[in-house]
Structure 1
Amino acid sequence: MTYEESFSVRFSLRESDHFAFESNPLPMWIFDIETLRFLRVNAAAVQQYGYSREEFGSMTIEDIRPVESIARLKKIYQHPDRPPNHSSNWKHRRKDGRTLDVDIFSSGVVFEGKAARIVVALDVTERNAAEEVLRHSSKFESLGRLTGGVAHDFNNILAIVSASLELLSGKVSEHLDAAEMLQKACSAVDRGAKLTRSLLAYARELPLAPRRVEMAKVLQELTPLISNCVGKGIQFDLYSEGSIWPVLVDVGQLETAMLNLAQNARDAMSDGGLFSIHCGDMTLSKASHSLLGEISPGEYVVITVADTGKGMTPEDLARATEPFFTTKPMLEATGLGLSMVYGFLRQSGGHLQLKSEPSKGTVALLYLPRDTSESVGQSAPSSTDAASAPEVGECRVVLVVEDEPDLLVLQKYFLESLGYGVLTATDGPSAMKYLRSEGRIDLLLTDVVLPGGMAGSVVAAEAVLIRPDIKILYASGYTKGELIQTGRLPGGVTLLNKPFYLEDLTNAMDNLFEMPELRG
């Protein structure tokens, strides 16, 4: 006798109840309270879980749950006369191994003289994924507010310290002990700036300057850096598929992300191993992709970074992208590496997916959306035409707008040492007086977040209207959304991230004027 025939004899509910049970679009079943064996399943349960009716007939409700859920189930049915009618946050396992998030609604029934329960299972996997996205968004928003509130002032402080140290370095170069101490102080400033940038990256508040590139070429250019990072004791393999779609990405931030992953792999393989990078195309459909709620269906370039190191436990893996979480010993890591990679990819329209098992290594998949624009490898065009070069003997003039007095003095000193004439203002209205005057101004160097009711971007827009040939250079520790609305720098915008050094300022000025030999 088959399972169906056996059941048709035992089933004692009314015909209308039988029809409602069988035709319900949600998975339903009846199980024995004492043995937990399935007594009846409907068609929706068969379709949802992938087991046939005959297979269900030989199973218990424990068999559709992962091992970690069994203890909770047993605790509930220690008192079978008082099980809840509704319970949430269950994990169920399909025949193919895929896990579902399920809410359970049940009621006690008497079935063939036995105490049983009739169950309706509601698949809430998509709902939970959507809620997780909202939680992530809320976390990012909160961290963004917290980070932004600190970043502007903290980076201004670092900028004052770094500029002062750099100026002192030039005066004590003959005193080796003093020069060495100043170099250590500069390194500490760099670490502080990197910490702030990592937090901004996680919160998706780091200004990005993306350009359209061929990823295979970019990775090939990064090979020497990555190889040096992992060291000679680890085998390094790089493989790219034949023709890879172009992407729009901030190459500098991608380099930082790849080096963070390489460093993590190196630390996980103290006894050597294999570190590999594979790059290829992938199309994610709504029906097939497994990153539900984290990334939109579409065409992506995927960089797969894998190591054969010690791997992570499921608990550590779940927290791997949290800021300041690290499995390394205290003081050996900040715990911001993976969080920075995650934030950078999300801000770029992509995603970071991590897979890891203890003693089997870790795989990081970096998803970047395919770019469908025309040109490759071109940076954003300048927002204004190049200003005519001054005649020999003339001096270019820079208007500096900076609300931090000490930093304003140091920037003026920097620019004067480069041969520029310098005008200074501490807010937008003061800057506008210079811009409306008859005097010469070749470049506006402005902070982004300013007092006085005018942001740096507003001052720059007014400057271009009054003086169409003026060059614009922004300097900021945090833009606060004043300059960057989509997480990316607009075309033609040049931004110096505070703190910066004299060399950074020199390069930015030379790039804007395009004729460094005629600086003054």
Structure 2
Amino acid sequence: MASALKNPSSSRNIPLDYRRRHLLWVGLAVLSLNLIALLLSEVFILSSFRDLEEERIREHADRAVNTLAREGEFLRRMVVDEAFWDKAYAFAADPGSNDMTGDMTAETLEEGRLSAIIMTDAEGRILFSCGYDLDAGSESSVAPVLLENLFPIQKRLTEGEIGSVQVGLLFARPYPFQVAAAPILKSDGTGPGRGMLLYARELNPGRIDKLGELIQLDLGIDSEKNLQTADSGVAVRRQGGTISAHVNLPDLLGRPGGALDVTIDRLIYSRGRASVRYFLCWTLGSSLLFALLAIWLLNRVSRLDARRAERDRLVRNLLERSGEAIFLIGMTDGRVLEANPRGRELFPLKEKAPRAENVFRTPEGNPFWEELSGQVREGLGNFSAELQNRSGQALWCEGSATQVSGEEDHYLLLQIRDVSTQKAAEDALKASAERYRQLFENSPLPMWVVDMENLRYLDVNQTALETYGYSREEFLAMPVLNPRPAGDGTRFPEVVSREKGGEDSVGPWPHRCKDGRILDMEIVRKEIPFADRSALLVMAEDMTEKESLRREADQVSRLAALGELAAGVAHEINNPNGMILRNLDFIGDILSDALPLLEKEGEAGLQLGGLDFSQVRTEVPQLIDDMQQGAGHIRDIVRDMKDFVRLDDPSDDGPLDLNEAVATAVRLLDGPIRKATDAFELQLGDDLPPGVGSSRQIGQVVLNLVMNACQSLPDRSRGILVRTRFDPAKKRILAEVIDQGRGVAKEDLERLTDPFFTTRREQGGTGLGLSVSARIVKQHRGTLSFQTEPGKGTQVTLALPVA
């Protein structure tokens, strides 16, 4: 390919007259082109920009006038609200009839941004007037121009239709006023009118500047200027770098008014003039460049023709038959000199010899040529990059660049292969790997990967980190025996051998969290290849809650069995106890009848059962009463036990008597209470409203709470208070169990209702009482709260909604 660049033909054989004649034509073409460009820019382009800026300033003038009109409309609405009012109507007729003036204070003017308020009667006499300096924020005298024009304004009101309002400008020195005047009418807008209410706002420079800031324009009002303009009422003037529009503003009373000035910078014209200058400079530069290029071409045409012919003859077949895109690029100017059909297919060349930085660009639009030429100079010819052709198509390319030398210049031979298909396949593979990575990371179950060779953690997902409480670095740094409790590692060799034997699940297995909690985890494992090594994919499922539910189900089953047993025992006890009660009544009747008959014998020293008749007469009835009470107590205990252990069903839910449920629970615990304390007190509230729910379930909750209170007392001198009451503010019925026991530690308070949590494990506590109670209370839409102080006791409050 280098030989194609040798022996360029000389340009000295080009005739001198031929070159001069073409040089003259080039000069005339350059001069004509610049004159035409100058004429076109002045006649057409700049005049268009002037028309455009005049149109823009007229639009701004319309905005400014509309802004003043909106201000006037706001003022009109304010004065109408006050003038069309029965209170103002009465005040105009009799100023002493109400405190109308009390509503028109300095605060009223400040809030309404008003400079004056004036009220007159039907004859034009001023009933009330108040001036205000908005800049100083204090009261001031009413402007003379307002007082002088009260009569003409009121006259215009009376001459118009009833309810008409006069809104406009009063021009005076130094500043005009925006005025709104309305007749004083009734609230329904009927008359006759009793005077006039006038609101005025001074349009001083500060107020005008605020209006200008509102619409982002430079505004001004000249009270003495009224221009003679066209029908549009807008005069446009240009001065230096600004353009102004002057709009005639009529006076409210038809007198000569003033003018509104709107001024803006001539940005449109300035930018247009800059564009024209740029265009002319570009035209001149292009013309000169064209002239220089034409001269250069005249000197180089024969030499380039010879070089191109030689190059074409040597490399044409190679370029056209190659399956790779091949480009020949000049090193000094970076122009693409040649491209084979494959190259033109991948990177279409829309112009002859384009610059390489315009052909080879990244998808972000950055030129790739500079980076590539720098690599070639450093001896790094191979490259891989994503390029974008002129059609916007992104291609992933690999290739090489080689520097070749000719007789007069250095060239770059660029070979490019389109590997977009292979790259897309690689990207799809990476995307697939990322999807599986996301499945691993976002799995709802804890997962990790273990190296089977050195038994170290290779990876862990976010769920595992959140479950065990470790950071990723802490988890991966742990030995594989963690997070198992100390002493539990003896099972691990067995588990590994079982895995190799094909088993894929182990559990439950206790795992220790970072905060010390122990979780029962069900493990599922699968041997997988991971990073070119044998690894174990482990997935864990927390079985703690399931185990808790199973234990609770077992407890419920045992309670159900106990209930069936209690029902049978209660039946066997009730039969003989009922017989005792009936016989005691009969014996009592016999004794009542026999005592009068034995009265005479008793006086003679009669003895019965070794007792004197006087003792029999006093003690035997008492003994019968004691036996009746004891048998009745047995009957109540059996009845309460049957009610307590009886399984509930939805039909049991109904009106709930909290006092009865609490009293029943206390009767059942009479023995444990007497054994635990000498200071037990039961206070049942009066007139408690009924709740909704199961009396047996609520009784079970109270029974658990009282039993816990008895078990917490260190000695019999400590007391227990059980009371019920009604909270009218929250509409809740409350049962409170207050003991003077040992209390509960703060760190255990939040876990009191957790299943199987107990502080009495050594004394046989199961940790299910409060858990079952909390669930029952939740089913009844109630709450169970604890207040405790270690060493002083605990108060448990059961709150239930009323029916």
TM-score range (shorter-chain normalised) is: 0.3 to 0.5
Q: TM-score, normalised by structure 1?
A: 0.42
Q: TM-score, normalised by structure 2?
A: 0.29
Instruction: Report which of the two has the higher share of helix.
Output: 2
Structure whose alpha-carbon radius of gyration is higher: 2
Answer 1 or 2: higher relative contact order, Cα 8 Å, separation at least 6: 1
